[in-house]
């Protein structure tokens, strides 16, 4: 795909984030969509392409009153929206549609109008993982951590520092769920969830949503907001069974999606001003820094513990506070994208001065899937 | 009300041989007749070279502890926390999720790379689960 041919011209989250007891999941989709449409200065009838995950495109399109000529229901977990951005950019370039709306919403905390997740007993996960006591992401996502730590000499304190640094970013963000400062000791003394991870190393559980609007870069200059260009994209999947990953020392999906996006954008790591790495749990930024090639895996824990990713550090990472402190409805990828767009527009609560290139890296379904988007505000 | 039970696998035509094996006290894997790749979970073709000529064989049941978590909360039905959810690397190559029995469920006792051997835990007349214990000697 050619770089900078498609731009984000509308971006918004739900009016409220956190605990939203007065709206169903479907209504949260609509709330985010209507906010993004207003942000772009568009009418609903201008939308001719639509993508969403978990909920079906037909469900959300009908509820909103959208009549699309292109839809994408790719649903591979929390990074689905990175894949939607990539697919939408390709569709716009191919002339299949002109203006794409991507929505995410989840009543992750209040559970209103949310389909229950279940694992069929005759699926491979149901036969070969569920009988051993896996029960939700906290019992599955951290399974590779101990091997990763042993291979690369990563310490518990370094993994705790991920949560500490992200809380520093969250403190600057009025919409962040958790803003009080924490220390490494606080993290290591918080309640055990699934050893080696404690409560403060696990994502929040909240309600909310977000939406993006994409169109061609040529049209983007006529919109009210500063366009944010899609500079590079990548995606991949590996396995829905965490036990069947090729290795626990890296993520194959990360190592495929990340470099694809860098190559397409034609950038080097030193060009990256701002970075988002989907942090459902505290190990993901370490996997991301290594798999995306920022540094050897052995250095990732020390890099974060030494403060390089905190406010004022040389590689600002997860500047909204991340899934650990900002919000996490269950499929966090949309909020990482929203923060990248805010940073490129120059309107983030914790704005990185003069940031021109933002890399937004997502993970889905434990390590099942990955999507990476490189954004820029210069064409 | 009955006690909540741990999740029961339901075999499919492609996995029935595996569950027949555990019931008979064997851990069965598959090997590709064309490229010799050994793989898991079961399927009637080789995920490495796509050959449909594959054989089922009895694995050694030996392996080592590749990684794990000790789950505290929330606990799955039928489990009493804390309990370890482990991934075992078999001597034949494939990895599988399992539980570690006859061993304290603590970071001190559960050492990465410790040698393990298969054991079988009968859940009911249809399903026997392969689990692992520290290898003797």
pLDDT tens digits for range B46-105: 999 999 999 999 999 999 999 999 999 889 999 999 999 999 999 999 999 999 999 999
Query: Which residue's entry shows tokens 């950038």?
Result: A267
Q: Is residue B7 part of a domain?
A: no
Count of domains in chain B?
1
Task: Residue A144: list chain B partners with CB under 8 A.
Answer: 67
Task: Residue B85: list chain A partners with CB under 8 A.
Answer: 132-134, 139-140, 143, 194
Q: What is the DSSP string of A184-203?
A: HHHHHHSPEEEETEEGGGB-
CATH class of the region A6-113+204-376: alpha beta
Tell me the average pLDDT across B122-136.
96
Residue in chain B nearest A131 by alpha carbon: B7
At residue B73, the pLDDT reads: 87
Residue in chain B nearest A119 by alpha carbon: B7
At residue B2, the pLDDT reads: 62
Radius of gyration of chain B (CA): 16
Residue B12 above 60 pLDDT? Answer: yes
Tell me, yes or no, if the pTM score tops 0.90.
Answer: yes
- Regions of chain A short of the pLDDT cut 50: none
Q: Is residue B9 part of a domain?
A: no
Site from B6, B7, B39 to mutate, A interface, most A CB atoms within 10 angstroms: B7
Burial A247-280 (b: 16+ CB within 10 A, else e): ebbbbbbbbbbbbbbbebbebeeeebbbbbbbbb
At residue A118, the pLDDT reads: 85
Residue in chain A nearest B74 by alpha carbon: A135
Q: Is residue B10 part of a domain?
A: no
Residue B1 above 90 pLDDT? Answer: no
Q: Is residue B6 part of a domain?
A: no
Q: Is residue B5 part of a domain?
A: no
pLDDT per residue as tens digits for the range A278-302? 999 999 999 999 999 999 999 999 9
Task: Residue B41: list chain A partners with CB under 8 A.
Answer: 124, 127-128, 241, 244
Distance from CA of B108 to the nearest CA of A (A): 12
A195 touches chain B (CB under 8 A): yes
At residue B136, the pLDDT reads: 87
- Asked if A147's CB is within 8 angstroms of B107's CB, the reply is no
The domain in which residue B112 lies consists of: 16-134
**% of chain B residues with pLDDT over 70:** 97
Q: Is residue B102 part of a domain?
A: yes
Residue in chain B nearest A142 by alpha carbon: B69
Site from A122, A131, A135, A240 to mutate, B interface, most B CB atoms within 10 angstroms: A131
Q: Is residue B11 part of a domain?
A: no
Q: Give the span between the Cα atoms of A58 and A65, in whole angstroms.
A: 10
CB A7 within 8 A of CB A228: yes
Task: Residue B77: list chain A partners with CB under 8 A.
Answer: 135
- Asked if A133's CB is within 8 angstroms of B83's CB, the reply is yes
Across chain B, mean pLDDT equals 96
CB neighbour class for A312 (10 Å; exposed up to 12, middle 13-18, buried from 19)? exposed
Site from B67, B78, B79, B120 to mutate, A interface, most A CB atoms within 10 angstroms: B67
- Asked if B76's CB is within 8 angstroms of A139's CB, the reply is yes
At residue B118, the pLDDT reads: 98
Query: Which residue's entry shows tokens 């790719």?
Result: A74
At residue A333, the pLDDT reads: 98
A135 touches chain B (CB under 8 A): yes
């Amino acid at each position: 795909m050619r770089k900078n041919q498609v731009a984000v011209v509308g971006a918004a989250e739900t009016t409220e984030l956190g605990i939203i007891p007065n709206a169903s999941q479907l209504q949260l989709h609509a709330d985010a969509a209507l906010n993004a449409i207003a942000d772009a200065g568009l009418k609903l009838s201008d939308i001719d392409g639509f993508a969403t995950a978990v909920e079906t495109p037909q469900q959300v399109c009908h509820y909103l009153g959208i009549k699309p000529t292109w839809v994408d229901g790719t649903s591979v977990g929390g990074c689905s929206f990175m894949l939607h951005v990539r697919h939408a950019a390709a569709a716009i370039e191919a002339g299949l549609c002109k203006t794409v709306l991507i929505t995410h919403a989840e009543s992750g905390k209040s559970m209103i109008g949310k389909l229950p997740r279940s694992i069929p007993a005759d699926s491979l996960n149901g036969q070969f993982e569920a009988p051993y006591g896996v029960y939700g992401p906290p019992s599955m996502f951290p399974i590779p951590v101990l091997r990763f730590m042993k291979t690369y000499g990563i310490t518990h304190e370094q993994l705790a520092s991920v949560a500490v640094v992200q809380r520093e970013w969250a403190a600057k963000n009025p919409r962040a769920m958790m803003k009080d400062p924490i220390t490494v000791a606080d993290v290591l003394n918080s309640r055990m969830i699934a050893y080696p991870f404690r409560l403060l190393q696990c994502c929040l559980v909240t309600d909310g949503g977000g939406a993006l609007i994409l169109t061609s870069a040529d049209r983007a200059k006529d919109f009210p907001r500063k366009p944010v260009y899609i500079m590079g994209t990548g995606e991949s999947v590996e396995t829905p069974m965490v036990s069947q990953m090729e290795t626990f020392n890296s993520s194959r999906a990360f190592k495929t999606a990340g470099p694809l996006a860098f190559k397409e954008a034609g950038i080097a790591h030193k060009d990256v001003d701002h970075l988002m790495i989907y942090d459902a749990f505290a190990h993901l930024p370490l996997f991301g820094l290594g798999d995306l090639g920022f540094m050897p895996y052995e250095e990732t824990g020390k890099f974060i513990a030494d403060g390089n990713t905190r406010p004022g550090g040389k590689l600002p990472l997860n500047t909204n506070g991340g899934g650990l402190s900002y919000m996490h409805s269950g499929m966090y990828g949309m909020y990482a994208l929203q923060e990248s767009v805010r940073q490129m527009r120059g309107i983030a609560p914790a704005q990185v001065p003069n940031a021109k290139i933002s890399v937004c890296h997502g993970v889905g379904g434990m390590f099942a899937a990955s999507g990476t988007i490189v954004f820029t505000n210069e064409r | 009300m009955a006690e909540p039970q741990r999740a029961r696998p339901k075999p499919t035509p492609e996995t029935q041989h595996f569950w027949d094996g555990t019931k008979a006290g064997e851990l069965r894997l598959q090997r590709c007749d064309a490229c010799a790749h050994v793989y898991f979970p079961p399927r009637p073709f080789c995920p490495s070279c796509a050959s449909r000529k594959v054989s089922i064989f009895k694995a050694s049941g030996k392996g080592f502890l590749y990684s794990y978590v000790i789950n505290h909360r929330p606990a799955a039905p039928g489990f009493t926390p804390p309990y370890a959810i482990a991934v075992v690397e078999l001597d034949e190559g494939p990895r599988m999720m399992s539980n570690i029995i006859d061993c304290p469920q603590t970071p001190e006792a559960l050492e990465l790379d410790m040698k393990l051997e298969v054991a079988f835990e009968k859940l009911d007349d249809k399903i026997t689960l392969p689990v692992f214990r520290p290898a003797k000697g």
